[in-house]
């Protein structure tokens, strides 16, 4: 490869890896398997070694991915949170052993532990009490999720036996499989998207802003290290056994291995046994046990030289591709799905696999009747990862991506730079119409009970509804004749539809399903435009003048209100009495903070952070997530984040303490 080509490839890989880091650590919604991710990272590492002129400190080969989000206070880690070198083969585990012995000139004893698949956490204990819990973040500093972590029952809040004055516990927050299954069942029932796997569910839950919801999710935590400036232990195993006595949960799969052969048999043993654990594991972590030997071995920029992760490769099977069908999503997105000859994979029968998009089909060069490799990664839907070409013959025809919508026949479009095709027939394509109704009735929108996907489908197919305004014309008599619908359920649905008329304006705005207007944007819009008419009259400039509203959102809003059919729907909703303006109900206490953007930082004694957020909104103010020129003042508690403090000083922004704030809103 020529240096210019290498430079370009390196840039491309870096961008791609950053994107996958964001999807994994921030969105908790990865689209590739760990194995595929590691392949990209390996390629980048190899190229950077060969062409060092293109390597810089900012490369993902030098840094760990970051999970930091703006809503939490951030703190530095007393000990950096690094990642682990990965391998998928036995040979490299042996090479690791050779390096470790060479580096120390000693025979090495290893601790083998399972690699728990969740979200890593660092918890500081001070004077025997749980003081602060921080996510991995970017490895140097992370988000303060103490309140959420305190909901985990297997973590002691207070330790009754003598312990070091200050120490840090590191572990993995997990969502046990049974908890995950029931959470997803509830979510699907409520019309919410299910979590793809327990890791995403655990990481997503850890970052929720309401610790009461976190508490209901029953997270668990497995501990894998104890750190302190001086610990009275000479090895890792001993320190974990001590932590167990202090009340921490150390999984009993942990084992001391005297040789690399014992390590290899541990890996083999747990490849089988791990499937019967109540939580997910994706490998084994092999650690040099002796702490002095660890010091001799040291660290690379990203990971310790005294540990390595052996990762189990996802199980694969070969089966026949029968056909490809295409699904149309709520927003018109087209997803190709492979229909397969049923085959047993990791304990369940697989009949369908996701193909993502046209590029993926092209990349695999899929032909009808191909024998394909199917893999179950962390995702619910398995995917096709390769084709066995030895079964291919000339009669087999290449899969051509469809040109027209399978539901309404409209010519599909694909925006520049986007991976997905979509159906532009926003107004009449049935799945899009149904999708918008499902969104309208969902819990965070109009919260109408009894109208799950199945019932909406039924109402739609019987021509009883074509859009969400039709819901308000339904009568119990229309519903009673439907399958599996008794008089009581029909009456309940009608009651819930009627009750939804009182839904507050921001939620109605969200329910309309305007492109790019999610829950938060809807709230912002409702604060800036206190009724729908003024929002409808807003120009793009007026919209983008609002903090948080960019050109993409603005054009979604303008396009929505330029459509005659949308205006008709809104008029029908208005006639039914739905609320399209901010009303001063219990939810609005005053407008003392109107026009103010307030950033909360630190911890408080008279109300929780969530309660302060609510109070700000109830008094007409807006919660800002980061300190900027738009911040009116900072509601500053104890231990305010250092970076926020520095920024506030630089910009000359006022800090107001808890009591002063309560005085402003008249609660003192
Ligand atoms: S030890 C220097 N032990 O794996 C890092 N990590 O890439 C030392 N993990 O995000 C980590 N199970 O959260 C260690 N038994 C275990 C683990 C474990 C899961 C996670 C950890 C980190 C990642 C390392």
List the domain boundaries for the chain: 3-62, 111-264+279-305, 430-575, 597-664
Which residues, 6 or more positions from 116, have their beta carbon under 8 angstroms from its beta carbon? 171, 172, 174, 222, 224, 251, 279, 280, 281
Superfamily of domain 597-664: BRCT domain (3.40.50.10190)
Both tokens assigned to 319: 């089966």
Q: Kindly report the protein residue whose alpha carbon is nearest to atom 3 of ligand 1.
A: 224
Quote the ligand 1 centre to 95 CA distance (angstroms).
20
In the chain, which stretches have pLDDT less than 70? 28, 64-65, 69-70, 189-192, 347, 377-380, 584-587, 668
- DSSP conformation class of 27: S
Q: Kindly report the protein residue whose alpha carbon is nearest to atom 17 of ligand 1.
A: 115
User: From the candidates 15, 49, 115, 397, which is the catalytic residue?
Assistant: 115
Q: Tell me the pLDDT tens digit for each residue of 130-171.
A: 999 999 998 999 999 999 999 998 999 999 899 999 999 999
Q: Find out whether the beta carbon of 83 lies less than 6 Å from any atom of ligand 1.
A: yes
Q: Please check whether residue 66 is in contact with residue 25, taking contact to mean a CB–CB distance below 8 angstroms.
A: yes
Both tokens assigned to 350: 């697989």
Burial of 395 (0-12, 13-18, 19+ CB in 10 A): exposed
Please report the pLDDT score of residue 70 as a whole number: 63
Q: Locate the ligand 1 atom nearest the alpha carbon of residue 113 and give its number.
A: 15
Quote the ligand 1 centre to 171 CA distance (angstroms).
7
- Please state, in angstroms and rounded to a whole number, the distance separating the CA atoms of residues 324 and 372: 13
Q: Find out whether the beta carbon of 41 lies less than 6 Å from any atom of ligand 1.
A: no
Mutational pocket test of ligand 1: of 79, 83, 123, 206, the residue with most ligand atoms within 8 Å of the beta carbon: 83
Quote the ligand 1 centre to 34 CA distance (angstroms).
14
Quote the ligand 1 centre to 83 CA distance (angstroms).
7
Q: How crowded is residue 1: how many other Cβ atoms within 10 Å of its Cβ?
A: 11
Q: Please check whether residue 136 is in contact with residue 120, taking contact to mean a CB–CB distance below 8 angstroms.
A: yes
Cα end-to-end distance, the chain, whole Å? 70
Task: Supply the Cα-derived Rg of the chain in whole angstroms.
Answer: 28
Quote the ligand 1 centre to 634 CA distance (angstroms).
36
**Residues 188, 190, 196, 201: what is their CA dihedral angle, to the nearest 10 degrees?**
-140
Q: Find out whether the beta carbon of 222 lies less than 6 Å from any atom of ligand 1.
A: no
Q: Kindly report the protein residue whose alpha carbon is nearest to atom 18 of ligand 1.
A: 115
Q: Find out whether the beta carbon of 251 lies less than 6 Å from any atom of ligand 1.
A: no
Q: Please check whether residue 118 is in contact with residue 173, taking contact to mean a CB–CB distance below 8 angstroms.
A: yes
Q: Kindly report the protein residue whose alpha carbon is nearest to atom 12 of ligand 1.
A: 115
Please report the pLDDT score of residue 377 as a whole number: 66
- Please state, in angstroms and rounded to a whole number, the distance separating the CA atoms of residues 246 and 228: 15
Please report the pLDDT score of residue 219 as a whole number: 96
Q: Quick check: is 49 catalytic? A: no
Q: Locate the ligand 1 atom nearest the alpha carbon of residue 115 and give its number.
A: 12
Both tokens assigned to 98: 């050779």
Vertex 165: Cα angle to 163 and 169 (nearest 5): 70
**Residues 164, 168, 174, 179: what is their CA dihedral angle, to the nearest 10 degrees?**
50
Please report the pLDDT score of residue 379 as a whole number: 57
Can you tell me whether residue 649 is helix, strand or coil?
Answer: helix
Please state which CATH class domain 430-575 belongs to. mainly alpha
Q: Please check whether residue 354 is in contact with residue 375, taking contact to mean a CB–CB distance below 8 angstroms.
A: no
Please report the pLDDT score of residue 640 as a whole number: 84
Please report the pLDDT score of residue 347 as a whole number: 65
Please report the pLDDT score of residue 309 as a whole number: 97
Q: Find out whether the beta carbon of 217 lies less than 6 Å from any atom of ligand 1.
A: no
Give 111-264+279-305's CATH code, choosing from 3.30.470.30, 3.90.45.10, 3.40.1400.10, 1.10.10.10: 3.30.470.30
Quote the ligand 1 centre to 311 CA distance (angstroms).
12
Q: Find out whether the beta carbon of 138 lies less than 6 Å from any atom of ligand 1.
A: no
Q: Please check whether residue 69 is in contact with residue 27, taking contact to mean a CB–CB distance below 8 angstroms.
A: no
Q: Beta strands of 92-229 (E only): which ranges?
A: 110-116, 119-126, 129-135, 141-143, 166-174, 220-227
Please report the pLDDT score of residue 646 as a whole number: 85
Mutational pocket test of ligand 1: of 168, 309, 310, 312, the residue with most ligand atoms within 8 Å of the beta carbon: 309
Closest CA relative to residue 2, chosen from 60, 50, 41:
50
Mutational pocket test of ligand 1: of 85, 223, 224, 308, the residue with most ligand atoms within 8 Å of the beta carbon: 224
Which residues, 6 or more positions from 107, have their beta carbon under 8 angstroms from its beta carbon? 101
Q: Find out whether the beta carbon of 115 lies less than 6 Å from any atom of ligand 1.
A: yes
Mutational pocket test of ligand 1: of 84, 280, 298, 311, the residue with most ligand atoms within 8 Å of the beta carbon: 84
Quote the ligand 1 centre to 9 CA distance (angstroms).
30
- Please state, in angstroms and rounded to a whole number, the distance separating the CA atoms of residues 83 and 95: 19
Please report the pLDDT score of residue 378 as a whole number: 56
Domain 3-62: give its CATH code: 1.10.287.610
Q: Please check whether residue 557 is in contact with residue 535, taking contact to mean a CB–CB distance below 8 angstroms.
A: yes
Q: Locate the ligand 1 atom nearest the alpha carbon of residue 117 and give its number.
A: 19
Please report the pLDDT score of residue 446 as a whole number: 93
Residue 329 phi/psi, 5-degree rounding, is -85, 175
Please report the pLDDT score of residue 192 as a whole number: 67
Q: Kindly report the protein residue whose alpha carbon is nearest to atom 10 of ligand 1.
A: 120
pTM for the model stands at 0.58
Q: Locate the ligand 1 atom nearest the alpha carbon of residue 64 and give its number.
A: 7
CA 287, 288, 290, 296 torsion-angle sign: negative
Q: Please check whether residue 421 is in contact with residue 358, taking contact to mean a CB–CB distance below 8 angstroms.
A: yes
């Amino acid at each position: 490869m020529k240096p210019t080509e290498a430079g370009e490839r390196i840039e491309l890989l870096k961008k791609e890896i950053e994107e996958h880091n964001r999807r994994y650590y921030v969105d908790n919604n990865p689209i590739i398997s760990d194995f595929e991710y590691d392949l990209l990272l390996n390629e980048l590492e190899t190229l950077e070694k060969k062409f060092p002129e293109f390597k810089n400190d900012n490369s993902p080969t030098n840094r760990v991915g970051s999970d930091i989000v703006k809503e939490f206070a951030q703190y530095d880690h007393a000990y950096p949170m690094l990642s682990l070198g990965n391998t998928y083969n036995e040979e490299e585990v042996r090479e690791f052993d050779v390096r470790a012995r060479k580096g120390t000139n000693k025979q090495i004893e290893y601790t083998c532990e399972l690699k728990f698949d969740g979200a890593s956490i660092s918890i500081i204990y001070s004077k025997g009490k749980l003081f602060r819990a921080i996510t991995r973040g970017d490895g140097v500093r992370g988000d303060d999720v103490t309140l959420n972590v305190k909901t985990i029952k297997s973590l002691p809040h207070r330790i009754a036996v003598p312990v070091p004055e200050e120490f840090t516990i590191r572990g993995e927050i997990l969502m046990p499989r049974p908890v995950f299954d029931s959470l997803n069942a509830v979510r699907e029932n409520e019309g919410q998207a299910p979590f793809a796997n327990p890791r995403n569910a655990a990481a997503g839950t850890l970052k929720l802003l309401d610790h009461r919801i976190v508490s209901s999710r029953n997270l668990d935590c497995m501990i894998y290290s104890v750190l302190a400036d001086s610990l009275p232990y000479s090895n890792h195993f001993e320190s974990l056994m001590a932590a167990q006595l202090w009340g921490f949960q150390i999984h009993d799969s942990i084992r001391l291995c005297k040789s690399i052969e014992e390590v290899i048999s541990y890996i083999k043993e747990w490849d089988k046994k791990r499937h019967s654990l109540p939580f997910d594991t994706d490998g084994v972590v092999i650690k040099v046990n002796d702490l002095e030997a660890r010091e001799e071995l040291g660290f690379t920029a990203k990971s310790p030289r005294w540990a390595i992760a052996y990762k189990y490769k996802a199980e694969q099977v070969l089966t026949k591709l029968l056909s490809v069908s295409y699904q149309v999503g709520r927003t018109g997105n087209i997803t190709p799905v492979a229909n397969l000859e049923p085959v047993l994979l990791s304990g369940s029968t697989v009949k369908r696999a996701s193909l993502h998009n046209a590029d993926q089909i092209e990349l695999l060069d899929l032909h009808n009747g191909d024998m394909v490799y199917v893999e179950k990664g962390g995702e619910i839907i398995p995917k096709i990862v390769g084709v066995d070409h030895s079964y291919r013959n000339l009669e087999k025809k290449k899969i051509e991506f469809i040109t027209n919508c399978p539901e309404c026949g409209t010519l599909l479009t694909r925006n520049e730079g986007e991976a997905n095709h979509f159906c532009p027939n926003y107004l009449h394509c049935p799945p899009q119409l149904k999708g918008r109704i499902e969104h309208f009735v969902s819990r965070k929108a109009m919260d109408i009970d009894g109208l799950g996907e199945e019932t909406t489908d039924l109402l739609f197919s019987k021509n009883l509804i074509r859009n969400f305004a039709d819901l308000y014309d339904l009568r119990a008599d229309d519903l009673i004749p439907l399958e599996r619908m008794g008089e009581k359920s029909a009456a309940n649905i009608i009651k819930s539809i009627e009750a939804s008329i009182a839904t507050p304006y921001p939620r109605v705005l969200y329910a309309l399903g305007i492109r790019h207007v999610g829950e938060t944007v809807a709230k912002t819009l409702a604060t800036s435009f206190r009724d729908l008419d003024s929002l409808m009259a807003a120009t793009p400039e007026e919209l983008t003048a609002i903090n948080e509203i960019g050109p993409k959102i603005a054009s979604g809003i303008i396009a929505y209100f330029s459509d005659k059919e949308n205006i008709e729907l809104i008029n029908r909703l208005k006639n039914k009495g739905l609320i399209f303006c901010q009303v001063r109900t219990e939810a609005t206490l005053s407008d003392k903070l109107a026009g103010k953007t307030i950033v909360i930082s630190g911890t408080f004694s008279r109300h929780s952070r969530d309660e302060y957020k609510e109070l700000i909104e109830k008094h007409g103010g807006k919660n800002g997530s980061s300190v900027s020129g738009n911040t009116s003042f900072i509601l500053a508690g104890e231990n305010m984040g250092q970076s926020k403090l520095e920024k506030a000083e630089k910009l000359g922004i006022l800090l107001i303490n808890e009591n002063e704030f309560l005085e402003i809103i008249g609660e003192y």
